[in-house]
Amino acid sequence: MEFFRRYRDFFICVVLLGLPFIFLQANTKDPGKQNAFDRFVLRLSTPIQYVTSTVARTVSDVWGSYVYLVDVREENEFLRMENNRLRKLGGKASQLETDNARLRAMLAFRDSLKVKLVAAQVIGKNTSSYFRVVRIVIDRGQGAVQPGMAVVTHEGLVGQVDRVWDKFSDVLLTVDAKSSVDVYVERNKSRGLLKGTGDSSRYECKIEYLLKTDEVQPGDVVVTSGMDTQFPEGVVVGTVSKVRKREFGLFQEAWVEPSVDLSRVKDVFVLVPGAGK
């Protein structure tokens, strides 16, 4: 017993190192040359090999799946960032395309008119409690524009210059209650006076002094008549949205939706009356 205790570690090492060789020799030997000991070793090693291989395969699968999921997560994060980047680029490209189309339309509109125009940009907007734009400010002041000058875009009439300061001006919109423009219905030349309703919850105008005998219907296009000499003839103002004929009197009323989206107007032209190009 004393001898075994002294050399216990040595015997354990020999056994642990020798067993794999014994198992390997029994498994690689030609079945026809195996003896009883080899067959005993095979019967003993088969369950051990099965358990070992199963554990190794499971660990390998788990590790491979973990590594795969890590790679997938990193790839998904990269794709998400790339998608956001491309989406931003797409949004910028779409905005540039919209701005380009708007500027081309503005240039075509400028070339179609026979009056002098002063280009201006909207630098400020006053809004109502309903977030409706009630007044805009342009970057043209004294020396460039004067009160009463018409303000237009390629979509139609915006309003007129109201107050002029040193480097900027206030614009009175067509929907303002103080606004008044001589207009006619483009389809049949029915004439009236367009006034803003001043409604802070919607963009709307109303044609007054429109003869009841004139045929006016929703969808009719309304343009400036040019009779007041302040606005040139033929500038689109808006579209008739509703008509009401009074039971008594000579006139009917027609409500008009402006052709210009006043909440998004950016670039405008100020018309200089009495001046050709």
Rounded Cα distance between 38 and 28, Å, is 10
**Sequence letter at residue 244:** R
Instruction: Give residue 175's pLDDT band: very low, low, confident or very high (50, 70, 90).
Output: very high
Rounded Cα distance between 203 and 2, Å, is 109
Q: Are 165 and 142 in contact (CB under 8 A)?
A: yes
Rounded Cα distance between 243 and 227, Å, is 23
Rounded Cα distance between 126 and 133, Å, is 6
Listed by start position, the domains of the chain span: 2-61, 115-272
Say what the pTM is: 0.63
Instruction: Give residue 228's pLDDT band: very low, low, confident or very high (50, 70, 90).
Output: confident
Rounded Cα distance between 267 and 269, Å, is 7
> 276: how many CB neighbours lie within 10 A of its CB?
8
Q: What angle do CA 144, 149, 151 make, to 5 degrees?
A: 95
Q: What does the pLDDT read at residue 74?
A: 73
Q: Name 135's bridge partners.
A: 126
Q: How is residue 239 written in tokens?
A: 């579209």
- 136: closest CA among 146, 126, 144? 126
- 156: closest CA among 266, 271, 258? 258
* Maximal CA-CA distance, the chain: 134
Kindly give the residue spans of alpha helices, DSSP state H, lying in the chain.
Answer: 2-6, 8-28, 36-112
Task: Please indicate whether residue 3 or residue 152 has the higher confidence score (pLDDT).
Answer: 152
**pLDDT above 70 covers what percent of the chain?**
66
Rounded Cα distance between 248 and 212, Å, is 10
**Sequence letter at residue 10:** F
Instruction: Give residue 200's pLDDT band: very low, low, confident or very high (50, 70, 90).
Output: confident
Task: Please indicate whether residue 91 or residue 174 has the higher confidence score (pLDDT).
Answer: 174
Rounded Cα distance between 182 and 231, Å, is 8
**Average pLDDT of 257-276?**
85
Q: Are 204 and 130 in contact (CB under 8 A)?
A: no
Q: Name 171's bridge partners.
A: 136, 161
Query: For the residues of 161-209, what is the DSSP string, one character each?
Result: EEEE-SS-EEEEETTSTT-EEEEEETTT--EEEEEE---TTS--EEEEE
Task: Please indicate whether residue 180 or residue 84 has the higher confidence score (pLDDT).
Answer: 180
- 218: closest CA among 238, 243, 190? 243
Domain 115-272 annotated CATH 2.40.10.350? yes
